[in-house]
Amino acid sequence: MVFIVVAVAGLIDLAQPLEGDQSLFLIGAQEMAHGAVLYRDFWDIKQPGIFDFYYLAGVLGGFTALSVHLLELIYFLACAGVLTYAASRSKTLAPAAPFVALFTIGAYYIVSTSAQQVQVEMLAGFPIFVAAWLTCEAAQRSGRARAATLFAAGLAAGCALILKLVFAPLLAALFINALAFPSGTYRPSWRTGFIAVAAFLAGTAVPVLATLVTLARGGALGIALDTWLTIPPRIVATLPVHVSNLTDGVKWLLHGFAAAIVLAIVALFIIVRSGKLDALTRSLVVWIVAATATILAQRTSWWEYQWLLLCIPLGVLAAAGFVALVRAPRSLASFGLLGLAALCALLPARVELRKIGTLARYHFAVRADDRERYRIESSYPYAGVSADAALLPPGADVYVMGNPMYYVVTGRTQPLVLNGWSMELLLPEQRAELIREFQTHMPQFVYISIDDNGPHVMMARTPEFVAYFTQHYHVFARGAFGTLYRRA
């Protein structure tokens, strides 16, 4: 029954549009399907794992928003199955196992919007959990079985790393947590520690090395390493800290996950008091602490979707807290805590009900035309970009400075290597490269959207680009969401 509820929650979101980040991932994956090499022919600062996910969705079902959301649903249903099974094997979490899928994946679909869905942090939760769980399982085994389990945990960790390298400290903390403490017949020692580290790192190396070899064969390894290791600290050094992003993100977390936070605190209080804190439950606590530190360390972003890195550990503990309260002797305290959690859940529940009501008005977006109207009503950026799509003449190529949704809506691909999303991140040599790209492959049209300040920041820093652009482009049409320029 729980899995049916989770599946229905995911099906409700199949009609959601792809917002800016997701549109960029889709057009990058589409370029890869046409033979482009990531970083060499299509540049973005993110690691390749997210593009691989969108590439798989495109290959399996076409490069559309629907296929991306469908693959995401299949992926998270598999994740829900693993979470349920892992919880059932935990002495502490076993009673909550039937509800884990609801409080993790179900909560994700209820809380998230099109802006937060199919993003790196939530997708990475699956392999991070597998790595943590299998490392805990390895401590219960011996000999080759332990080494094989740690190798499998390393494989999962490697998959998380190719989604985002900044998860490395989190994965290390989970590994240390599982193997630094005695468990069953397992006793940590220098010898067992060395073997464990070797097996784990061997597994981690498989997806990482496969990615590096693929990039090397495409002649993009040097660019990729520079993108991952050199460029990010230089960007951080030049960008201001936007505290408003942090406060907005924390407000979003509390708005959507307040009930889970209350129940998770209850679970930890009861578990610690009873002395039944097992390795997996301890890993969830370490995950929350290390993930919060990971999010806070990314001080130039602090986007709302990054807090989804907490969704799985919070959800598992929340399920445990819910079951503990339901099973507890009837008292004012237990009823009060359940009531508080229910009250906190009302806010995201209202949003979900409103979403379902909108979807019902468009016959649940089964037909393509109903789906398009639903997307226009449910997403302000999509509505604006869709209105401006008609400005572009048929067959004309366009370079988008700002929201890449314009590529998806108009069915165009990106004509240059450097993308125009978050252009405030471009370093001086990249801005010079952008001018050279324009001079070599001058797009017929340029669309500048109004929802991204990046192009204006880039132009303020690059008067040479402004001089070139004003000389070679003039306003062709002004739309609801941006301005279309035509080559002179």
* Res 158: pLDDT: 98
Can you tell me the distance from the alpha carbon of 310 to that of 421, in angstroms, rounded to the nearest whole number?
26
Q: Burial of 140 by CB count in 10 Å (0-12 exposed, 13-18 middle, 19+ buried)?
A: middle
Can you tell me the distance from the alpha carbon of 255 to that of 257, in angstroms, rounded to the nearest whole number?
6
* Res 275: pLDDT: 83
DSSP 288-300: HHHHHHHHHH-TT
Instruction: For residue 103, give the nearest of 83, 124, 75 by alpha carbon.
Output: 83
* Res 350: pLDDT: 86
Give yes or no: residues 420 and 339 share one domain.
no
> Is 288 part of any domain?
yes
Tokens standing for residue 168:
């490395």
Give yes or no: residues 398 and 307 share one domain.
no
* Domain end among 347, 369, 404: 347
Give yes or no: residues 289 and 408 share one domain.
no
Any idea what DSSP says for residue 240? Answer: P
pLDDT along the chain (488 residues), means of 10: 91 94 96 95 96 97 96 97 96 94 95 94 98 93 90 98 97 91 72 89 97 96 95 87 90 93 93 88 96 92 94 96 85 76 83 90 92 92 91 93 94 94 92 94 93 90 95 94 93
Helix axes 20-33, 65-88, angle to 10 degrees: 100
- Based on C-alpha coordinates, what's the Rg of the chain? 24
Give yes or no: residues 386 and 339 share one domain.
no
- Going from the C-alpha of 258 to that of each of 149, 175, 314, 338, 342, the distances in angstroms are 35, 28, 10, 12, 10
* Res 184: pLDDT: 64
* Res 183: pLDDT: 67
> Is 367 part of any domain?
no
Give yes or no: residues 139 and 180 share one domain.
yes
> Is 330 part of any domain?
yes
* Res 185: pLDDT: 64
**pTM across the whole model:** 0.95
Residue type present at position 100? V
Give yes or no: residues 339 and 398 share one domain.
no
> Is 364 part of any domain?
no
Answer whether 40's CB lies under 8 Å from 220's CB. Answer: yes
Give yes or no: residues 399 and 310 share one domain.
no
Give yes or no: residues 302 and 403 share one domain.
no
Give yes or no: residues 428 and 287 share one domain.
no
Number of H helices, E strands in the chain: 22, 4
> Is 362 part of any domain?
no
Residue 186, classed as helix, strand or coil, is: strand
Helix axes 143-161, 120-138, angle to 10 degrees: 170
Give yes or no: residues 291 and 208 share one domain.
yes
> Is 239 part of any domain?
yes
* Res 345: pLDDT: 82
Total domains present in the chain: 2
Domain interval for residue 424 = 379-487
